[in-house]
């Protein structure tokens, strides 16, 4: 009952176990999981409420195919007790916990009370459902700012807002309840104390129907944007044996308190003094489960299927090892230069995974030619690397990101690479505020050192000349027999960023000597112009390159100076959509006067709601969008006078 990479992941284990599979899909989503399964059925049109959340259509598909069990993956109906009840009523196994555990842990208010009773540390907060924005303000004042407003039925960062004052509490209440209603069909909210600068560390648990439960070590998930994880690792650099044991024991206490059976995850916030507080329990397989599989050697999907069938766990707590170190980077179709990642859509015109490297795993549900649409999560893949030590796993991750080829959509690999090579990340000094602290003005990309700039310019010049020389030949012979002997000296102009650089290039055999701004750089390598990756040796150092710069001949550069420059658009009196999506609400009409920072409209893309605000006080001249409309990136929404 899922799609994308998690459906592919489940199908892989089913094949290994000799179990036949059925994929469900929407009419725009016939991707890899549909091709991998033994059978596939369409359950409705693209919007999730008409397909992947459409229980009637999914139940019809189960009956039509005679399916005996459902693995719900994560997201969608994976933590929906009604779906689990409907399956149970028809004698279909739900590969997950029973409805009692889903209900108890899925409701953040009830789960907190159960956790307290099970002697699990909890965050101070209000234990009831908050009905109105004004009630939210009163409760927030009682607890003391800052507070976290979050959806009772939520997960995955949806329906969560941090508020530092009354006004933010009112706005957070409204946006969170809307997001919660559209993501989970349940707009109930709760409020708790927000712990500043925490780490987000979770414990993987595994329990059977015979009262046995284990904890499978922790995962460090502190690198987040908009409360969604970006980079995870196992184990954590922060935990010592005593804290790990205490967290594991409490996670198992909680699982036993709700008679939990299956794989589940107990999430904790950990402060700088290693105090830990229960956050929530996810009664499903987590996105980041592969890193636990790497360090324990267990196949969690296989364990879930065995438990659902009624088998006892095969392992005891003392059998669970920590072997080596694993890191996961979530590769998203997002523009990391906009709020650390606003959704990007398009077709993957070129796609090449770095699977030629050792100890690299890629969990994905797409392939070259796949379409990334506005309807679903923007994840392209999960890139996992494994090593005997953390340093080894990090070096592999850097290598893997450099070898990953994605064209056709904007992606977040530049951000991922900057995170894993940042000194603070390498030293393990991280918290959930890592990204805003490191990049207070937003992510601007890798800032090139002088040497790196020289190497990149020299490589671009050498590649341009290689392409020019190749275009003169057919089957290794010159196109025109009267062409004079090959030239071996060139002058070029390379545009990079805002700057222009003059290059002088000479060639001897396979080696180019490039003079950039008075500095000589030697570049050599196998010049395969058909490959999207360019392995070169630059000044004796091996480099793997993917880049995009503009190279002009000397004459073209001179003529280019006469071209009129495009004047940047004045955006102070217009509002354009920063991303593709659906207009959920329009809060103004022509003739209204708006204040700076006032909400103009809300756009939903890939299950996240984004409030767009006025950049100045002005009168609304015209409105070019209405609720329910689909808009593209850069589309005009509102004009101001």
| H or E stretch at 549 | none
Residues 286, 288, 293, 298, Cα dihedral to 10° = 0
User: Number of C-alpha atoms within 13 angstroms, CB side, residue 250?
Assistant: 26
Residue 338's Cβ-count burial label (10 Å; 0-12, 13-18, 19+) is: middle
- Three-state secondary structure string covering 47-69: CHHHCCCCHHHHHHHHHHHCCCE
Looking at 258-389, list the stretches that DSSP marks H as alpha helix, in order from N- to C-terminal side: 289-296, 300-309
Measured distance CA(376)–CA(73) in Å, rounded:
14
Measured distance CA(51)–CA(1) in Å, rounded:
10
259: left (phi over 0), alpha (psi -120 to 50) or beta: left
Looking at 224-345, list the stretches that DSSP marks H as alpha helix, in order from N- to C-terminal side: 241-257, 289-296, 300-309
Measured distance CA(404)–CA(413) in Å, rounded:
8
- Known active-site residue 284: yes
Q: Which residue has the tokens 């275009």?
A: 471
Q: Which of 218, 324, 209, 206 is closest to 269 using CA atoms? A: 218
| H or E stretch at 285 | none
DSSP lists the bridge partners of residue 108 as none
State whether the Cα torsion 72-75-77-80 is positive or negative.
Answer: positive
Catalytic residue among 86, 161, 174, 284: 284
Catalytic positions: 284
């Amino acid at each position: 009952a899922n799609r994308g990479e998690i459906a592919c992941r489940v199908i892989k284990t089913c094949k290994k176990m000799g179990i036949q599979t059925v994929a469900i899909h929407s009419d725009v989503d016939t991707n890899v999981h549909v091709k991998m399964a033994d059978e596939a059925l369409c359950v409705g049109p693209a919007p999730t409420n008409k397909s992947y959340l459409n229980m009637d259509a999914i139940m019809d598909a189960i009956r039509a195919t005679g399916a005996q069990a459902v693995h719900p993956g994560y997201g969608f109906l994976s933590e929906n007790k009604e779906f689990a009840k409907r399956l149970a009523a028809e004698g279909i196994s739900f590969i997950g916990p029973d409805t009692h555990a889903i209900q108890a842990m899925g409701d953040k208010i009830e789960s907190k009370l159960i956790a307290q009773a099970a002697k699990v540390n909890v965050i101070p907060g209000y234990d009831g459902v908050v009905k109105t924005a004004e009630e939210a303000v009163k409760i927030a004042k009682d607890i003391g700012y800052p507070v976290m407003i979050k959806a009772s039925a939520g997960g995955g960062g949806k329906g969560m807002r941090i508020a530092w004052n009354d006004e933010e509490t009112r706005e957070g209440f409204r946006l969170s309840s809307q997001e919660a209603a559209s993501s989970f069909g349940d707009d109930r909210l709760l409020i708790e104390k927000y712990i500043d600068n925490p780490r987000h560390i979770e414990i993987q648990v595994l329990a059977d129907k015979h009262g046995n439960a284990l904890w499978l070590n922790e995962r460090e998930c502190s690198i987040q944007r908009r409360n969604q994880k970006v980079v995870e690792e196992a184990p954590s650099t922060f935990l010592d044996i005593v804290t790990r044991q205490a967290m594991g024991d409490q996670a198992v206490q909680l699982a036993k308190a709700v008679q939990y059976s299956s794989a589940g995850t107990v999430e904790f916030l950990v402060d700088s003094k290693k105090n830990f507080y229960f956050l929530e329990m996810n009664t499903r397989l987590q996105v980041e489960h592969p890193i636990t599989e790497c360090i324990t050697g267990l196949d969690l999907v296989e364990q879930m299927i065995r438990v659902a069938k009624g088998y006892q766990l095969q392992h005891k707590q003392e059998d669970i090892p920590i072997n080596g170190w694993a890191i996961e980077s979530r590769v998203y179709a997002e523009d990391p230069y906009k709020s650390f990642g606003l959704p990007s859509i398009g077709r993957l015109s070129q796609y090449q995974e770095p699977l030629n490297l050792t100890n690299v795993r890629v969990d994905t549900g797409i392939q070259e030619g796949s379409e990334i649409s506005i309807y679903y999560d923007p994840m392209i893949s999960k890139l996992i690397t494994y090593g005997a030590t953390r340093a080894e796993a990090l070096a592999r991750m850097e290598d893997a990101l450099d070898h990953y080829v994605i064209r056709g959509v904007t992606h977040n690999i530049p951000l991922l690479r900057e995170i894993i090579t940042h000194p603070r990340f390498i030293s393990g000094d991280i918290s959930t505020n890592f990204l805003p602290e490191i990049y207070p003005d937003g992510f601007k990309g890798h800032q090139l050192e002088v040497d790196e700039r020289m190497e990149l310019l020299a490589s671009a010049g050498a590649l341009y000349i290689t392409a020019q020389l190749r275009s003169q030949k057919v089957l290794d012979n010159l196109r025109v027999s009267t062409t004079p002997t090959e030239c071996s000296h060139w002058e070029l102009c390379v545009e990079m960023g805002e700057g222009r650089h003059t290059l002088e290039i000479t060639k001897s055999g396979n080696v180019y000597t490039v003079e950039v701004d008075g500095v000589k750089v030697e570049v050599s390598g196998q010049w395969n112009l058909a490959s999207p990756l360019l392995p070169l040796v630059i000044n004796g150092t091996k480099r793997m390159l993917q880049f995009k710069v503009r190279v002009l001949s000397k004459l073209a550069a001179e003529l280019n100076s006469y071209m009129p420059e495009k004047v940047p658009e004045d955006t102070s009196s217009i509002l354009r959509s920063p991303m593709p999506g659906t207009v959920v609400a329009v809060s103004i009409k022509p003739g209204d006067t708006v204040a700076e920072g006032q909400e103009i409209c809300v756009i939903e893309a890939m299950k996240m709601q984004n409030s767009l605000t006025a950049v100045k006080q002005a009168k609304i001249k015209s409105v070019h969008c209405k609720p329910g409309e689909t808009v593209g990136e850069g589309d005009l929404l509102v004009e101001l006078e």
